[in-house]
């Protein structure tokens, strides 16, 4: 356990209408055992005690599963560690006297609403367009009536572990949302229950994605590296396949 001093450059923006700017801060004697957001808590406590405005950022579960946190730290979504969300990033990844630049997710589809908080409702809208299996509550068959191969279930689970944080969009040089869309399309396309409306789903979700101002995927693969859940771009290939086949049927 050690304590370090760090210099921060943080994006501050009053609201969605305002133009923002960077502000410089210093945090002294922060434990390397603390998480990045705990460091931000310490900074905010400092700001409040000095009569300043604390920095607004989204966060909730602080255990890497709710997908609410997401900061662009030193040029990387969720900062300099792999397979973690911002809340799981720990200060031991930084050295004494490091400078850290913190920016919000930047994408046309994710407008900034304050400081480091962005509006990710576009993701909800994409899922509302078809990211589900159309069954009502009740009246479904017994759970074991639909056998599913373990491999398919595992691959579907890989895709289903998406937490909707938006790191894929944030890190993509084109702000493309393909990894997010493909995770849901692929999960449901792999399962017999989901196959029934797979074509409809792929078309509707991609159409919603196109309408919401995300860019086009150029297969750089940066998204899967920065995805805190390590979701593979192989799911994007499946999405493309589903979409092509769906269009061929028309």
Partner 1 sequence: MSGFFKSSVGQKFLMSITGLFLIVFLLVHFTANFFLFFGSDAFNTVSHFMETNPIIQIMQPILAIGFLVHIIYSIILTIQNLKARPQKYVKFEQGHSSTWASRNMFILGSLIGIFLIMHIMNFFWKMKVSGSDLYTEVNVDGVMMHNSYALVTGLFTDASFGLVYSIAYILGAIFLGLHLSHAFWSAFQTIGWSNQVWRKRLEWIGNAYAIIIGVGFSIIPLYFLIFK
Partner 2 sequence: MTKLNSKIPKGALKDKWTNYKDHQNLVNPTNKRKIDIIVVGTGLAGASAAASLGELGFNVKNFCYQDSPRRAHSIAAQGGINAAKNYPNDGDSVYRLFYDTIKGGDYRAREGNVYRLAEVSNSIIDQGVAQGIPFAREYGGLLDNRSFGGAQVSRTFYARGQTGQQLLLGAYGALNRQISKGTVKMYTRTELMDIVIIEGKARGIVTRNLVTGKVESHFGHAVVLATGGYGNVFFLSTNAMGSNGSAAWKAYKKGAFFGNPCYVQIHPTCIPVHGEFQSKLTLMSESLRNDGRIWVPAKKEDAQAIREGKKRPEDLKDEERDFYLERRYPAFGNLVPRDVASRAAKERCDAGFGVETGQAVYLDFKDAIARLGKSVIEERYGNLFQMYEKITDENPYETPMKIYPAIHYTMGGTWVDYELMTSVPGLFSIGEANFSDHGANRLGASALMQGLADGYFVLPYTIQNYLSDQHSVKRMNEDLPEFKKSEEEINNLIDKLMGIKGNRSVDSLHKELGHIMWDYVGMARNEKGLKTAIEKIKELKVEFWKNLRIPGDKNGINLELEKAIRLADFIELGDLMARDALLREESCGGHFREEHQTPEGEALRNDDKFMHASVWEYKGENEEPEMHKETLDYEEIEVKARNYK
**Please, which of residues 82-141 interact with partner 1 by CB under 8 A?**
101, 103, 106-109
Q: Considering Cα of 21, then 26, then 32, then 35, what sign does the dihedral take?
A: negative
Of these, 85, 88, 175, 199, which contacts partner 1 (CB under 8 A)?
175
18 belongs to the binding site for partner 1 (CB under 8 A): no
Whole-angstrom Cα distance, residue 197 to residue 190?
12
Chain residues 124-183 in contact with partner 2, contact rule CB under 8 A? 124, 127-129, 131-138, 140-144, 146-150, 153-154, 156-157, 160-161, 163-164
Nearer to partner 2, 119 or 220 (CB): 119
Question: How many other C-beta atoms lie within 10 A of the C-beta of residue 48?
Answer: 11
- The residues near 21 (Cβ < 8 Å, ≥ 6 apart) are 11, 12, 13
Interaction between residue 53 and partner 2 (CB under 8 A) = yes
Phi/psi for 212 (5° steps) reads: -95, 10
Distinct helix (H) and strand (E) counts, the chain: 9, 7
Q: List the one residue out of 79, 90, 69, 59 whose CA is nearest residue 171.
A: 79
**3: β partners:** 31
- Per rule CB under 8 A, count of chain residues that contact partner 2: 80
Our finding on whether 225 is near partner 2 (CB under 8 A) is: no
Q: Does 65 bind partner 2 (CB under 8 A)?
A: yes
Q: Which stretch binds partner 2 (CB under 8 A): 4-12, 39-47, 168-176, 216-224?
A: 39-47
DSSP 239: H
Instruction: Say which entry of partner 2, partner 1, none residue 217 contacts (CB below 5 to 8 A, set by partner kind).
Output: partner 1
Cβ neighbour number for residue 219 with a 10 Å cutoff: 13
Residue closer to partner 1 by CB (options 32, 207) is 207
Q: How far is the CB of 235 from partner 1 (least distance, A)?
A: 9
Contacting range for partner 2; rule: CB under 8 A; set: 53-61, 71-79, 98-106, 236-244: 53-61
């Amino acid at each position: 356990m050690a304590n370090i001093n760090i210099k921060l450059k943080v994006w501050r923006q009053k609201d969605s209408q305002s133009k923002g700017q960077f502000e410089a801060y210093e945090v002294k004697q922060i434990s390397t055992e603390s998480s990045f957001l705990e460091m931000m808590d310490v900074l905010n406590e400092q700001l409040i005690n000095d009569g300043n405005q604390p920095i607004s950022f989204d966060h909730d579960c602080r255990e890497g599963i709710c997908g609410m946190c997401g900061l662009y730290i030193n040029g990387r979504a969720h900062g300099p560690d792999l397979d973690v969300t911002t809340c799981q990033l720990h200060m031991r990844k930084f050295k004494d006297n490091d400078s850290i630049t913190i920016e919000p997710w930047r994408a046309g589809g994710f407008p900034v609403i304050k400081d480091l908080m962005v509006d990710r409702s576009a993701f909800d809208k994409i899922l509302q367009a078809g990211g589900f299996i159309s069954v009502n509550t009740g009246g479904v068959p017994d759970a074991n009536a639909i056998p599913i191969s373990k491999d398919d279930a595992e691959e579907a689970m890989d895709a289903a572990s998406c937490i909707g944080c938006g790191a894929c969009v944030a890190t993509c040089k084109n702000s493309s949302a393909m990894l997010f869309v493909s995770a849901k399309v692929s999960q449901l396309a792999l399962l017999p229950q989901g196959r029934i409306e797979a074509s409809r789903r792929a078309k509707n979700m991609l159409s919603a994605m196109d309408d919401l101002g995300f860019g086009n995927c150029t297969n750089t693969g940066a998204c899967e590296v920065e995805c805190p859940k390590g979701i593979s771009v192989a799911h994007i290939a499946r999405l493309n396949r589903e979409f092509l086949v769906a269009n061929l049927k028309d």
